[in-house]
Amino acid sequence: MPRVTGGSQTGGFGRSAGTLSAGVGIAGILTYVYFALASHNLAPDPYGEVVVLWSAVFVTISVLHRPVEQLISRSIAERRERGEAIGPVVRTAARIQGLVVAGFVVVALILRGPLEDELLSGSATLYWIYVAGVVAFAASFFARGYLAGEGRFGLLAGLLVCESFARASFALAVAVGIASGRNAVALGVAAAPLFSLVVVPLALGRRVAGAPVGSESGTLARGGAFASAVFVIMLSEQTFLNGGPLLIHAFSGAAAAGFIFNVLLLARAPLVVFQGIAISLLPHLTRLRSRGGGEAEAAFAVSVGLTLRAIAVFTAAVGLIVAVAGPQLMQIAFSDRFEYDRAGLLIVTAAMGLYLASTTLNQAVLAQGQARRAAFAWGSCAAGFLVWSLLPLISDEARRIEVGFVLAAAFLCALLWRAYRDPAVAATGPTARQEVEAAISLADEAS
């Protein structure tokens, strides 16, 4: 069988990333529409309560569900590349996901009082939307990991578009008068992941290859180490993206949380669009890592380099737009209830670029089998961000969050760049494939 050249390898990744990014771009626009309609049609406090709900849901699902999504994505991609069966991976990941959901429900019921009264403004409706949303996203994230690992990026894009369209429909219903109030808008958070699953029957048209579960390799210790590393990365990621609104909510109330959320959307929305590249980048780099050889290594470096250069160009373009008309565009998008300063928006734009670069480098470092180094970088920077945000070094709380975000993103980017450029120091540990397969087999060994 002829070898695939580095150029065609990166070209294939570019086409996959482009296809997925187009769909995810539509999903990002629809996410903007959801919050824009909510901001225009709700008073500041109800809008802030929807923002807090959204932040709480996405912190939880990213920490609980994304590790399984990444595990199944990488494992399927590598096993397909090697011609191995994926049935054990899918079945074991499903069991892990089921245990995670069951554990979440138990903890959420135990902590109902603090969650409902202190976080969700005493609203039982918002509490149940939170619980239902986290449970519904379990199935959505499992489907995302499966589709990414199989390279079915068209269906994955369709899943994300369906999810965002369904969520935006609830805010649109309030805008046109079909429904009214905060709860109607908030319902979209829980309903959207369920609507997104309409693509799953199409995905099941391809048979999942089976194999004896006992063929899975790896040890409990290695699996636990990798799972713990991914957990730290996901928790740290959500600290950066959703910690600001939650901290401001604790300091100054729901309306102020809504304001800082709108500002941080300048970074979050491109991250949603970038998801298309990030989701396809990890299995692509994992396949290249599995092949080995000079051509694969060159294609690995080219893929990472092209992505970083594209991020630099995109960040510069956004910075120019923000410098010229940032505050005016923010008020057009999210109503004139808040005033936005140009300096703060430019700070967040810089943080966006650094964070996008960090996300790219993180995928490369994970593909190199350096999960623990990545976890250290994320965890230390997230801890630094929290400490900075709690210290009154800058009296304006919103500006403190903005500056903390850009500083933490810069340190994170530097640490991950060093890990990516110098992977030899971690070469004595298990390979990426061993770590991933060990983590996937964790549930079987535990049972």
Is 201 contained in some domain? yes
**Average pLDDT along the chain:** 78
Tokens of 220: 């409990």
Q: Is there a domain that residue 1 lies in?
A: no
139 located within any domain:
yes
Q: Please check whether residue 11 lies inside any domain of the structure.
A: yes
**17-62: pLDDT as tens digits:** 566 667 777 877 888 889 889 888 888 889 888 988 988 898 888 7
What's the predicted TM-score (pTM) here? 0.65
Q: Across residues 404-432, what is the average pLDDT?
A: 78
Please state, in angstroms and rounded to a whole number, the distance separating the CA atoms of residues 399 and 381.
18
pLDDT at 268 over 70: no
Contacts of 37 (CB under 8 A, 6+ apart): 168, 171, 172, 174, 175, 185
Res 84: pLDDT: 72
DSSP 199: G
- Give yes or no for residue 253 having a pLDDT over 60: yes
Q: What integer pLDDT is reported at residue 370 of this predicted model?
A: 84
- Helix runs in 42-123, H state only: 44-82, 87-110, 112-114
Residues 100-128 have pLDDT tens digits of: 899 999 999 999 999 999 888 899 999 99
Whether the predicted pLDDT of 154 surpasses 90:
no
Q: How far is CA 152 from the centre of its chain?
A: 19
**How many other C-beta atoms can be found within 10 angstroms of the C-beta atom of residue 103?**
11
Count: domains in the chain: 1
Q: Give 447 or 122, the one with higher predicted confidence.
A: 122
- Output the pLDDT for position 226: 59
pLDDT mean over 395-422: 90
Confidence class of residue 441 from pLDDT cuts 50, 70 and 90? very low
Domain limits for position 318? 6-446
Task: Tell me what pLDDT residue 105 has.
Answer: 95
Q: Is the residue at 371 inside a domain? A: yes
Domain-located, residue 331: yes
